């Protein structure tokens, strides 16, 4: 039984909402750091989407990405290169945006909800990071292939190969920063 008061529950809910919005904002900010390498640019959005799930857990992490995608659909300039609108979702990179949602949910599911005092198993974190980054490409490559009428090899060469080194670097960074940030999140959002 929880001894938490109504005020404490309300405060925890507000913190959850704030963290969800913060990670949506981080994901949007990742769109402004762009290295164009063809139809699919190198951005930091995928890292922030994966971090959302790793740090906040599957539900709040997914909610952050949903909020980010909704902002883009509503024409806020949050997608790569500072653009927004439904046309981006329907364009060749739209599948990657839904891959962000899958990544946040899957990485969060592997890690579970953040819990105070819970030791973070390094192997589980590495697996969650690896799968989180890779799962972005499932809908991303499928949609890219379909929208640009490419064969699988060409879609793979355009939509995956140029990003391997960057994703490895982002993944290593995530492994180093997640334990501390997840502990902080757990202190504020885990059930008492």
Kindly state whether residue 51 falls inside one of the protein's structural domains: yes
Residue-wise pLDDT tens digits, 58-117: 999 999 999 999 999 999 999 988 899 999 999 999 999 999 999 999 999 999 999 988
Which pLDDT value is given to residue 2? 59
Coil, strand or helix: which one is 159? helix
Q: In 3D, which of 104, 115, 101 has the Cα closest to residue 185?
A: 115
Question: What DSSP string describes 78-108?
Answer: -BTTTB-SHHHHHSTTHHHHHHHHHHHHHHH
CA angle centred on 31, ends 27 and 32, rounded to 5°: 125
Q: Is the pLDDT of residue 192 over 70?
A: no
Check residue 32 and report its DSSP letter.
Answer: G
Which pLDDT value is given to residue 80? 87
77 CB neighbour count, 10 Å cutoff: 14
Which pLDDT value is given to residue 90? 96
Kindly state whether residue 89 falls inside one of the protein's structural domains: yes
Kindly state whether residue 1 falls inside one of the protein's structural domains: no
In the block, which residue shows the tokens 């890292």? 47
**CATH code, domain with 82:** 1.10.1760.20
In percent, the amount of the chain with pLDDT more than 90 equals 80
Give 4 or 2, the one with higher predicted confidence. 4
The number of distinct structural domains making up the chain is 1
Phi first, then psi, for residue 68 (nearest 5°) are -60, -50
Average pLDDT, the chain: 93
Residue-wise pLDDT tens digits, 37-46: 777 778 899 9
The residue range of the domain holding 72 is 6-189
Cα–Cα distance, 101 to 117 (Å, whole number): 28
Q: Is the pLDDT of residue 1 over 50?
A: no
Kindly state whether residue 102 falls inside one of the protein's structural domains: yes
Question: What DSSP string describes the chain?
Answer: -----HHHHHHHHHHHHHHHHHHHHHHHHGGGS-B--SSS-B-SHHHHHHHHHHHH-HHHHHHHHHHHHHHHHTT-S-BTTTB-SHHHHHSTTHHHHHHHHHHHHHHHHHH-S--TT----HHHHHHHHHHHHHHTHHHHHHHHHHHHT--HHHHHHHHTGGGHHHHHHHHHHHHHHHHHHHHHHHHHHS--
Kindly state whether residue 120 falls inside one of the protein's structural domains: yes
């Amino acid at each position: 039984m929880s001894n938490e008061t109504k005020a404490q529950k309300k405060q925890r809910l507000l913190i959850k909402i704030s963290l969800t919005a913060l990670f949506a904002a981080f994901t949007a900010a990742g769109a402004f750091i762009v290295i164009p390498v063809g139809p699919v640019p190198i951005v930091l959005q995928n890292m922030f989407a994966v971090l959302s799930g790793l740090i906040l857990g599957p539900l709040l992490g997914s909610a952050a990405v949903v909020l980010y995608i909704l902002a883009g659909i509503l024409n806020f300039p949050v997608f790569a290169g500072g653009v927004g609108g439904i046309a981006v979702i329907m364009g060749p990179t739209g599948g990657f945006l839904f891959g962000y949602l899958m990544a946040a949910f899957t990485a969060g599911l592997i890690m579970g909800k953040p819990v105070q005092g819970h030791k973070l198993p390094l192997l589980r974190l590495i697996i969650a990071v690896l799968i989180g980054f890779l799962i972005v490409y499932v809908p991303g490559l499928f949609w890219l292939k379909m929208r640009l009428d490419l064969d699988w090899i060409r879609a793979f060469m355009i939509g995956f190969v140029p990003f391997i080194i960057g994703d490895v670097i982002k993944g290593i960074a995530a492994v180093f920063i997640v334990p501390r940030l997840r502990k902080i999140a757990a202190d504020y959002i885990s059930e008492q």
